[in-house]
Amino acid sequence: MPERNDIERFFDPKIVAFFCNWCTYTAADLAGTARMTYAPNVRVIRIMCSGRLDPQFVLSAFREGADGILIGGCHPGDCHYQEGNYQALRRFILLKRLIHAFGIEKERIRLEWIAASEGDKVQRVINEMTETVRRLGPLDLEPITKKVIDYMSVTHHEMVSISHRGSS
C-alpha cells in the first residue's frame, strides 16, 4: 500500500449511505450481530428500497458536507419490490455522469448490491469506500455564504405559490 500523505492521515471522510431496508440494511445489521468491525465513517440512512433514492438526496448530502455517498440495494432480480433497484441503477448511472461533469470524482459515489446475508460485504465495501475517499481528500465544495446555504435548504421549497392550479 502506498504511504499515506498528511492529508490522508488526518482526514476522516464523512460518507453518507442509503441502504434499502430488505437487503443491505439487513446485511449491515448482520455485520453488527457478527461483530465485524469496520471504519466508522459511514452513516447509514434507511430507505425501503434503493428505488426510493431521489438523486436530490445525493446532491444534498454532498452539499451538506459528505465526502462520499454509498448506495446499497438488493442484487438485480432480488429487489423486495421487484424492480426498484433497476430504477436506482438508471438514476445512478446518470448521476455519476452529472457528478463527473461537475468536476467531482466519480469514485465519490458508489452503488453496491448487497444481499441480506452478505454482512462481510458491508464490511468490505465500507472499508474500501472509506479508503478511496480518504485518498481523494475532502470534497471541499466551493465555500458558499451562509445566505446561499439557507437558500439551498429552503429554496423553492419555502416559497409559497399563488394558487396550485391557477388559471394564468
Partner 1 sequence: MSTVGTGSNDKCKIGVYVCHCGINISSKVDVSKTVRFAAKLPHVTVSREYKFMCADPGQDLIQQDIRDGRINRAVVASCSPLMHEPTFRNTMAEAGGNPFLFQMANIREHVSWVTLDNTAATEKAMSLISAAVERVVFHQPLMPNRVPVHPDVLVVGGGIAGIHAALTLADAGQKVYLVEREPSIGGHMAKFDKTFPTLDCSACILTPKMSAVRAHSNITLWSYSEVIGVDGFVGNFKVRVRRKPRYIIEERCVGCLDCIEACIYKSGKVPDEFNEGLVKRKPVYIPFPQATPLVAVIDAKTCIGIRTGKCKMTCIDACERDAIDLNQSEEINEIEVGAIILATGFKTFNAKRIYRYGYGKYSNIYTSLELERMVNAAGPTGGEITLKNGQKPKAVGIVHCVGSRDNKTNKYCSKVCCMYSLKLAHLIKERTGAEVYNFYIDMRTPGKGYEEFYDRLLEENVHFIRGRVAEITDWVMTPEEEGKLVIRAEDTLVGVVRRVPVDMVVLSVGLEPQPDAEDVGRLFNISCTREGWFLERHPKLAPVSTFTDGIFLAGACQGPKDIPDSVAQAGAAAAEALALIDRGYVVLEPNTAYVQDELCSGCKTCIDLCPYGAISFDDEKDTAKVNGALCKGCGTCVASCPSGSLQQYLFTDDQIFSEIKGVILYA
Partner 2 sequence: MKKPKVGFYWCASCGGCEEAVLDLAEDILGVVAAIELVFWPVALDFKRSDVEAMDDGEIAVCFVNGAIRTSEQNEMVKLLRKKSQLIAAFGSCAQLGGIPGLANMFNREEMIKEVYLRSPSVNNDAEITPKEDIQVNEGNLILPALWDTVKALDHVIDVDYFLPGCPPPVNLIEDVFNMIVEGELPPKRTVLAPDVALCDECERREKKPDKLTLKEFKSPFEINIDPQECLLAQGLLCLGPVTRKGCGGACIKANMPCTGCMGPTGRVRDFGAKALTAIATSIDSKDEKEINAIVDSILDPVGTLYRYSLPASFLHRHYEKMLIGGSK
Question: How far is residue 69's CA from residue 43's CA, in Å, rounded to a whole number?
Answer: 10
Tell me which of 81, 89, 104, 132 binds partner 1, using CB under 8 A.
81
Q: Is 63 in the site for partner 2 (CB under 8 A)?
A: yes
Query: Which 59-118 residues touch ligand FES, going by CB under 6 A?
Result: 73-74, 79-81, 84-85
Edge to edge, what strands does the sheet with 109-113 contain?
42-47, 15-20, 68-73, 109-113
* Count of residues touching partner 1 (by CB under 8 A): 54
Chain centroid to Cα 32, Å, comes to 20
Q: Using CB under 8 A, which residues numbered 30 to 59 contact partner 1?
A: 31-33, 35-38, 40, 43-49, 51-57
3-state secondary structure of 67: coil
Binder of residue 8, out of partner 1, partner 2, ligand FES, none (CB less than 5 to 8 A by kind): none
